[in-house]
Structure 1
Amino acid sequence: MVTVSETIYVNAPVENVFTYLDDPYHHIEITPSLVEVRNVEPLDNGGKRADHTYRMAGVSLDGELVEILHEENQRLNFELRGQLEGDLDLRFTEENDGTRVSYAATYKLPGRVLSRLAEPFVRRYNQRELRTTLQNLKDRLEVDAPSQ
């Protein structure tokens, strides 16, 4: 199993950050290796499920993302199903006038030999990917006060 995690402070209300990340189509705007999100459907728990294509180190991986936990303005937890199996956990904490976002991803690489050989490379790759994703989130949601 590969696990990566990062946190970032976003100078935006927790409601705005949560709402943005609760829309699977927004993930394609901020996640560099997410190639496509399609077939988004609402779930009874308030969450969503979606099909997606993620490109890792030049390899396209198709799968399904199912939001198994939806706690308004606090937490989103997704199960990855398909070629890449695992879990994405996003937590939101109000801090000052903004939001602390904690994002952890745990997943199993496809193929036993490939995963053993590639795990150190993939961990570094996905740690950079996660850092970039959170910085993109920050850049997209933070709005400077208008100058006068």
Structure 2
Amino acid sequence: MSRLGFHRSLHLSRPRVACRAPPRRLRYSRMEQSLAREGGTMSKVSGTVDIKARPRQVFEFLWNCQNLPKYWPVSQVEVLEEGERRIRFRPEFDLGGRKVSADCVQQIAEEGRKITLQGTQGMKMEATWLLQELRDGTRVMYMADYVAPGSVLERFRLDKQVSQAFTEGFQKLKGAIEEAVSASARRAA
């Protein structure tokens, strides 16, 4: 007891908690971390299309970045560096009347089955092409995370246009590959 007749209260310090890294499933990619710092949001787009062509033919068509204008809203493609399993190129996207360029790196993740693409400068994006062999062709699956350029309102408007462009792009992709395969078969005959 103190001189005034009151009990001294004990001041307990809070127990120290060791800071640990979050579990692997909660860690963010570099792209998500930079977006969090910049206050941006990622948009996702995905799609699947069945194409009447062998997986090897589809893979070769997708690997050639010069084919992008045949199915995506891309006006031109400049190849910056080309290797056996990696291509660095700069496509110019036409997004809602706005020209946006990005330096991209495309890599073969699994030969004949998986291609990855990452935007390294300009528009931020990460994408994956997956190919699955079917009895009468190939199933192509595409998944992309991207950040549309501009303000929040512009991004909202562009997200709708990009989503529509990707939907149309899958139908163009199917037609372009099937046409290329039939033209190749006609030349061989």
How would you bin the TM-score normalised by the shorter chain? 0.7 to 0.9
* 1:140 partner amino acid: A
- The equivalent of 2:106 in structure 1 is 67
- 1:135 paired to 2:171: yes
- 1:126 paired to 2:162: yes
Once residues 22 and 89 of structure 1 are traced to their aligned partners in structure 2, the CA distance between those partners, rounded to angstroms, is 12
Give the TM-score, by structure 2 length: 0.68
2:79 to 30, 33, 39: 39
- The equivalent of 2:48 in structure 1 is 7
Q: Deviations over 1:83-108 (max 9, x none)?
A: 21111211100011211101112112
1:27 to 68, 71, 79: 68
Specify which structure has the higher proportion of strand: 1
Give the TM-score, by structure 1 length: 0.85
Once residues 143 and 127 of structure 2 are traced to their aligned partners in structure 1, the CA distance between those partners, rounded to angstroms, is 6
Alignment map for 1:40-59 (pairs within 5 Å): 40-43=80-83, 46-59=85-98
Question: SS at 1:89's partner residue?
Answer: strand
Greater mean deviation of Cα atoms: 129-138 or 68-77 = 68-77
User: Is the Cα–Cα contact under 8 Å of residues 84 and 110 in structure 1 kept in the other structure?
Assistant: yes
Once residues 64 and 101 of structure 2 are traced to their aligned partners in structure 1, the CA distance between those partners, rounded to angstroms, is 19
Cα distance, 1:118 vs. partner?
3.1
Does the C-alpha gap of structure 1 residues 17 and 134 become closer, same or farther in structure 2, counting only changes over 3 Å? same
Q: What number of residue pairs does the alignment pair up?
A: 141
Runs of at least 5 residues in structure 2 that lack an aligned partner in the other structure: 1-41
Greater Cα radius of gyration, structure 1 or 2: 2
Greater mean deviation of Cα atoms: 84-93 or 64-73 = 64-73
Higher relative contact order (CA 8 A, sep 6+): 1
